[in-house]
Structure 1
Amino acid sequence: MQWDTTRYPVSMRNMEPWIRDKAIEIANALLREGVAEDSAIRIAIAQAKRWAARSIRRDRCDEALAPMKRPSRVRGDAHSRKAPFGANS
C-alpha cells in the first residue's frame, strides 16, 4: 500500500509533519523495492528521524557560522593611510 500525507501508518501519527513526510517518502520507496510493509514502516521511521537530526544539526551549524560568513571591511582601507607628518613623535 502506498502512503501519502493524509493516509499513513498509525505509528507515524505523533511525528512532526515534516519528518512524517520524509518517513512516508522512504517507506514508499522501500515498498517499491519489495520490502515487507511492517519492516518498511520501522526502517522509514528510523531513517526519517536520523535525517531530521542531521538537518537540525546542519541548521544550527549554519546559524553559528553565519556571523563568520559576513563580509568584513577590507583591512587595508583603515591601515593604508599615512599618518600626518609629525604625528608619530
Structure 2
Amino acid sequence: MPWTTDRYPVSMRNMEPWVRDKAIEIANALLREGAPEGTAIRIAIAQARRWACRQRDKRAALPDSDTGPWH
C-alpha cells in the first residue's frame, strides 16, 4: 500500500513533516522493489533520519547571508 503525506504509518507520526515526507518517499520506493511493509517502514525511517542529519549539517556549513565577505 503506497503512503502519502496524509496517510502514512503510525511510526512516522512524530517525525518532522519534511523528514516524514522523505521517509514516505523512501518507503514507497522500497515497496515498489518488493520489500515487505514492516521492513520498508524501518529502513525508510532510518534512512530519512540520516538524510535529515546530512541536510542539517549542510545548512550549518553555509555562511549566513548577513555575514558575507562584502559586509
| TM-score, normalised relative to structure 1 | 0.72
Task: Pick the structure with greater CA Rg.
Answer: 1
Q: Between Structure 1 and Structure 2, how many residues are aligned?
A: 70
How far did 1:71 drift? 4.8
Amino acid across the alignment from 1:7: R
RMSD of aligned Cα (Å): 1.6
| TM-score, normalised relative to structure 2 | 0.90
Q: After the TM superposition, which parts of structure 1 deviate over 2 Å for at least 4 consecutive aligned residues?
A: 69-72
For residues 38 and 70 of structure 1, what CA distance do their matches in structure 2 show?
A: 50
Deviations 1:57-88 (CA, angstroms, capped at 9, x unpaired): 00000136x84x6358xxxxxxxxxxxxxxxx
Structure 1 residue ranges without an equivalent (≥5): 73-89
Higher relative contact order (CA 8 A, sep 6+): 2
